[in-house]
Amino acid sequence: MQSLYRAPWGDPSAADASAALRRMTLPPHRVPDAEDPSHQTAEVADQPVSVLTFNAVDPSGASGLGADVQAIGSVGCHPLPVVTGAYTRDSAEIHGFAAFDDESVSEQARAVLEDIPVGVIKVGFAGSPAILGQIAELSSDYPDVPLIAYMPDLSWWDETHIDSYQEAFTDLLLPQASLLVGNHSTLRRWLLPDWESDQNPGPRDIARAASEHGTPYVLVTGQTPATGSIENTLATPQSVLFTRKFERFEARFVGAGETLSAALAALLATGSDLNTAVAEALEYLDEALNAGFRPGMGRFVPDRLFWAQGDGTDPSDPEGTDPSSPQPGDIFDDPFNETRH
């Protein structure tokens, strides 16, 4: 397996999958100015790599930029969050969304890009076709920086908005993307709307559809094979590069896909090869879901900072004998979730 920053990723045959597959060269860190007191003690080699992420603000903390910042930071990178808009939502559902002006989004991103070297660009929910256009234009100005694109579930949105957003994503962002991440059902409805076979399309079918628009790699999550597990697959049109299965949680989560895609972007930014980064990002998500909690009356949220928590023991009840103490499995009382990853 070759390093992420030496083209091509993984399967050599994938080099022909798309003319848009760019060289994966990590930009060098800016050398501190010896005359600048603020940089005199900087250890450039030890600085975390920065990841630029576009996403919306979620006031519930379940998804959006909050999820990106926590996941990217947990992996050890420095997040550069660019606000694309704001949800009106709680832990149960999205009630509305207001997109930012596309020029203001571009100005946010260009301000930091002109100052800080970036290892990877991650795109979550951009909010509008106009913002997708700005991101695509910006990405084309930084051809050596990989772009990781995540397509969220948009079923909460008006159908007209969904169609125009996904059309713009297809035409503008997929040609710039190095890797597309999304749930199987979401990607199928979007990329293969006219699928006629009685058999569900596989990851390679979805990867083939994405490659027709310029994206050479796809991470398809949330497949539910007959074994009853959750399957996640990294694929190109030519081959399946990596598959990992997990047991299902009997809980409904929000923010899982954004957690995965943000962690993956950060792991790639640190120099991990693609297969290793996907494996570690999936393990990170699994641990975050296992430690998940329910902050309100809606869905559960991945605990992206699970590694910073204690063992959960109540000092006054170290043996856990108090019936009121949280018991293993208590968080799994919510209805079963078929799209865990």
Query: How far is residue 169's CA from residue 151's CA, in Å, rounded to a whole number?
Result: 9
Tokens of 226: 């007959």
Query: How far is residue 119's CA from residue 4's CA, in Å, rounded to a whole number?
Result: 11
Among 175, 117, 173, 116, CA closest to 150: 173
DSSP 57-124: E-TTSSSHHHHHHHHHHHHT-EEEEEEEEEEEE-SS-EEEEEEPPHHHHHHHHHHHHTTS--SEEEE-
Query: How far is residue 32's CA from residue 35's CA, in Å, rounded to a whole number?
Result: 9
Query: How far is residue 268's CA from residue 257's CA, in Å, rounded to a whole number?
Result: 16
Phi–psi pair at 71, nearest 5 degrees: -70, -45
- Strand-pairing partners, residue 89, are 94
Residue 42 lies in a domain: no
- Strand-pairing partners, residue 232, are 244
Strands (E), the chain: 50-57, 78-89, 94-99, 120-123, 147-151, 179-183, 217-223, 230-235, 240-246
Contact call for residues 5 and 25 (beta carbons, < 8 A): yes
Among 49, 21, 14, CA closest to 272: 49
Residue 287 lies in a domain: yes
Contact call for residues 77 and 51 (beta carbons, < 8 A): yes
- Strand-pairing partners, residue 235, are 218, 240
Query: How far is residue 221's CA from residue 253's CA, in Å, rounded to a whole number?
Result: 14
Provide the residue-wise pLDDT of the chain in tens; the chain has 341 residues.
Answer: 333 322 334 443 434 433 333 323 333 333 334 344 443 333 456 799 999 999 999 999 999 999 999 999 999 999 999 999 999 999 999 999 999 999 999 999 999 999 999 999 999 999 999 999 999 999 999 999 999 999 999 999 999 999 999 999 999 999 999 999 999 999 999 999 999 888 889 999 999 999 999 999 999 998 887 677 889 999 999 999 999 988 878 788 999 999 999 999 999 999 999 999 999 999 999 999 999 999 999 999 999 999 987 654 444 444 545 554 444 334 333 333 333 44
Residue 340 lies in a domain: no
Sorted by sequence, the CB contacts under 8 Å of residue 193 that are 6+ apart come out as: none
Domain region containing 147: 48-332
Residue 24 lies in a domain: no
**CATH number for the domain harbouring residue 92:** 3.40.1190.20
Residue 82 lies in a domain: yes
Residue 30 lies in a domain: no
Query: How far is residue 135's CA from residue 155's CA, in Å, rounded to a whole number?
Result: 23
Tokens of 70: 């926590």
In order of 49, 102, 161, the CA distances from 82 in angstroms are: 16, 12, 22
Measure the CA angle with vertex 279, ends 126 and 339; round to 5°. Answer: 55
The total number of structural domains that make up the chain:
1
Residue 22 lies in a domain: no
Query: Residue 151: its pLDDT value, please?
Result: 97
Residue 145 lies in a domain: yes
Among 205, 265, 206, CA closest to 72: 265
Query: Residue 163: its pLDDT value, please?
Result: 97
